[in-house]
């Protein structure tokens, strides 16, 4: 039986497993032309260079590539306040609330909660931010590159602050969680480590 610790609002934390995202410096170098405006045509360089890892009692049991730096920072994705990648999750601790409502996303996804972004803004227990005017915005998630419009993964992962994997990798990630009998709403502790 896995060990659980009750968290704020009685959310159980699965203690036999943790998530680590190893982010590389080159992930921030996502513009093909650093002087050109951000766009789909320009922001694809160094895509999915980071690693998403599941550890069980400190042994690695899963690893895949992911995009953890906000490179979709133009058009409706231009929500950062200080730097273009400001909605990127800041290094350190976060919590992954498992198997949340996918809404417009495809498949089984997860919410990233109780952390901050590069703009210094809190990502709350609902995976949202509250503006100074009291409005909620965003939803920080772990989801796939799948596009309902294309019926397949996009060529590149486009992040507005989320952690993004391929569809096949997210399915494999979820297979591990199901094998450990992680239930919807249960939380796994995570950490983002930058290799600076």
Rounded to whole angstroms, the Cα distance separating 182 from 1 reads 12
Q: What is the pLDDT, as a whole number, of residue 77?
A: 73
Where would I find the H helices in 79-149?
none
In contact, 22 and 53? CB cutoff 8 Å = yes
Q: What is the pLDDT, as a whole number, of residue 12?
A: 57
Residues 96-120 have pLDDT tens digits of 999 999 998 999 999 999 999 999 9
- CATH: 1.20.120.10, 1.10.275.10, 2.40.440.10, 3.90.120.10. Which one for 18-194? 2.40.440.10
Environment class of residue 34 by beta-carbon count within 10 Å: exposed (0-12), middle (13-18) or buried (19+)? exposed
In 3D, which of 97, 111, 101, 124 has the Cα closest to residue 187? 97
Residues 125-175 have pLDDT tens digits of 999 987 777 777 789 999 999 999 999 999 999 999 999 999 999 999 999
Rounded to whole angstroms, the Cα distance separating 15 from 173 reads 17
75 three-state secondary structure? helix
Q: Residue 15 above 70 pLDDT?
A: yes
In contact, 48 and 14? CB cutoff 8 Å = no
Q: What's the whole-number mean pLDDT along residues 33-60?
A: 94
Environment class of residue 64 by beta-carbon count within 10 Å: exposed (0-12), middle (13-18) or buried (19+)? middle
Q: Residue 3 above 60 pLDDT?
A: no
Q: Which two tokens stand for residue 178?
A: 């199901």
Residues 79-95 have pLDDT tens digits of 778 888 989 999 999 99
Q: Which two tokens stand for residue 103?
A: 């809404």
130 three-state secondary structure? strand
Rounded to whole angstroms, the Cα distance separating 31 from 105 reads 26
Q: What is the pLDDT, as a whole number, of residue 196?
A: 55
Domain spans, the chain? 18-194
Rounded to whole angstroms, the Cα distance separating 73 from 103 reads 22
Residues 168-196 have pLDDT tens digits of 999 999 999 999 999 999 999 999 999 85
In 3D, which of 175, 98, 105 has the Cα closest to residue 146? 105
Torsion angles phi and psi, residue 37, rounded to 5: -65, 155
């Amino acid at each position: 039986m896995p060990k659980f610790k009750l968290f704020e609002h009685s959310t159980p934390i699965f203690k036999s497993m943790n998530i680590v995202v190893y982010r590389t410096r080159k992930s921030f170098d996502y513009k093909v032309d650093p002087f050109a405006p951000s766009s789909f045509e320009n922001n694809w360089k160094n895509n999915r260079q980071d690693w998403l890892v599941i550890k069980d009692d400190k042994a690695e049991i899963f690893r895949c590539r992911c995009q953890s730096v906000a490179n979709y920072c133009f058009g409706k994705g231009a929500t950062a306040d200080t730097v273009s990648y400001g909605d990127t999750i800041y290094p350190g601790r976060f919590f992954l609330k498992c198997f949340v409502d996918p809404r417009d996303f495809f498949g089984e996804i997860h919410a990233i909660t109780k952390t901050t972004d590069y703009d210094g803004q809190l990502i709350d227990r609902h995976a949202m931010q509250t503006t100074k005017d009291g409005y909620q915005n965003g939803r920080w998630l772990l989801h796939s590159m799948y596009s309902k419009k294309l019926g397949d993964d996009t060529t590149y992962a486009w992040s507005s602050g989320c952690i993004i994997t391929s569809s096949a990798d997210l399915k494999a990630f979820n297979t591990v969680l199901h094998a450990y009998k992680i239930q919807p709403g249960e939380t796994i502790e995570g950490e983002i480590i930058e290799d600076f």
